[in-house]
Structure formats: structure tokens, C-alpha cells
Amino acid sequence: MLLAATCAEAAATASRPAPLNAAAVEAAASAVRADPDLGGKHNERTWRFKRDDDDAKPAQVSPEPWLLDLARWLAEGGRVLVWLGGAAALAALLVGARRWLKVRGETAMRSTARLPSHVRELDIRPESLPSDIGAAARAAWLAGERRAALSLLYRGALSRLVHSLSVPIQDSSTEGDCLRLARAALGDERSAFVGRLVLAWQIAVYGNRPVQTTVVMSLCDEFDRMLPAGAAGAAATR
């Protein structure tokens, strides 16, 4: 009996399964993967329609750090340029407004100031003189009216200085005063022309001496260029 019980216990122990562990599980899984009928990996190809936007999607690329730094620098520099441009525009506006006010103020002062109609006994009103003073003086000189020709040139010069070139000649100004004021207001070339004209007038009237015809013809030819009338004369002084 004892022998039979021992044999039965040994048989039960042999039929009992061995305990599981990690090595046993891995070995069993490897065996399953190796069996082609139970598992493993395989590749499979299928057909599908290609969409138009598959190639249109660009790859997402992260910008370089230096590009980000450059963009930030440009943004900050752009703000600085905007401020500088605004400041420059404001300065230009102020300068332009100052010049405009200055010109307008001078124009208003000239318009309100009393301009003389005569300098001593000479009538210098523009309407009392011919439109082409040089040509009229030339015709008078060639006709033998030499004092009248020089008087016309001198009166015309005073009229252009006062009404076109804004030289502050007064009704009591002498020839010396007119010449001094013209030199202060005009350039060298025009001042020299006025000096030659005043000298010819003084030689004929006060010196009672003849003036050369070439001198008078030169004064007639250059009169309108040196002493332009109206708006042309006002522009010549600026």
C-alpha cells in the first residue's frame, strides 16, 4: 500500500505543469513569432487615388535662429525709422511754414507801405512810363532828345527799383541815396548797372557834359534784363 501511494504521488507531481517565469514566456512568444502560420510580419501593397494637395503641402521647416533675430532687429529698426521720418517731416514743415510766413509778411508789409509816386520832382509811377523803357529811351536819344532820353532811363530805373525790386527809396532820396539802397538790396551786376545809369544822368544834368552814345545804347539794351518789371523783378530779388 505504501508503495502504491508513493507511486501515485510521483505520478501526480510529474503531471503538474512547471511554474511560469519571464524566460519561459519569452521563449514561448519567440516560438509563436517564428511559426509562419501563427504570426510574424509581412508587407502588403494597396492602390489609392492621389489627391492634388499632397504635393502642395510644403514641409514644415523651423526658421533659423539668426533669421528670427534679424526679423526682430528689422522690426525695431523700422520703428526707429518711422520716428526719425516723422521728426524730419515735422522739421521740414516748420521750416516751410516759417519761410511762407516770412514771405507773406514781407509781401503784406510791402503792400501796406506807402510807395512814393515821385522822387523829388521825377514821376516814377509805372503808368507814367512806357512799357519798353529801353526802346523808348533809345528812340529819344537817336532823335536828338538826349536829356529826355537820360531822364526816361533814370525815372524808369527808380520806378523799377521801387515797384518791382522793393528797394526802399523814398520821395526825398537823392541820387546817392538811391544808389546806396540799390547796392544793399541787389546783386553786384545789377548794382553796377544802376551805378552806370546814375553816373550818366549826373554827368548830363549836373555836369552839363556830353555822354557817349555807346554808353547810352548799352544802358538801353540792358535795361529790361537788369531791372525787370512786375513779377519778374520780384522773383529776381529772391
DSSP string, the chain: -HHHHHHHHHHHHHHSPPPP-HHHHHHHHHHHHH-TTT----------PPPGGGTTS----PPPHHHHHHHHHHHHHHHHHHHHHHHHHHHHHHHHHHHHHHHHHHHHHHHHS---SEETTEE--GGGS-SSHHHHHHHHHHTT-HHHHHHHHHHHHHHHHHHTS-----TT--HHHHHHHHHHHS-HHHHHHHHHHHHHHHHHHTS-----HHHHHHHHHHHHHHS--HHHHHHHT-
Domain 118-236 bears CATH identifier 1.20.120:
yes
- Size (the chain), residues: 238
Q: What is the pLDDT of residue 233?
A: 54
The whole-angstrom separation of Cα 2 and Cα 10 is 12
Q: Lowest mean pLDDT: which of 38-42, 91-95, 144-148?
A: 38-42
Compute the average pLDDT of residues 22-34.
69
The more confidently predicted of residues 214 and 16 is 214
Give the residue extent of every domain in the chain: 118-236
Q: What is the pLDDT of residue 13?
A: 54
The whole-angstrom separation of Cα 141 and Cα 95 is 50
Instruction: Dig out the grid coordinates for 212 from the structure.
Output: 557817349
pLDDT confidence tier of residue 51, bands split at 50, 70 and 90: low
Given a cut of 50, is residue 112 above it in pLDDT?
no
Supply the pTM of this predicted model: 0.52
pLDDT tens-digit series, residues 151-177: 999 999 999 999 999 999 998 899 999
Given a cut of 60, is residue 18 above it in pLDDT?
no
Q: What is the pLDDT of residue 140?
A: 95
The more confidently predicted of residues 217 and 81 is 217
The whole-angstrom separation of Cα 200 and Cα 184 is 21
Q: What is the pLDDT of residue 82?
A: 72
Given a cut of 80, is residue 50 above it in pLDDT?
no
Average confidence score pLDDT of the chain: 78
The more confidently predicted of residues 222 and 31 is 222
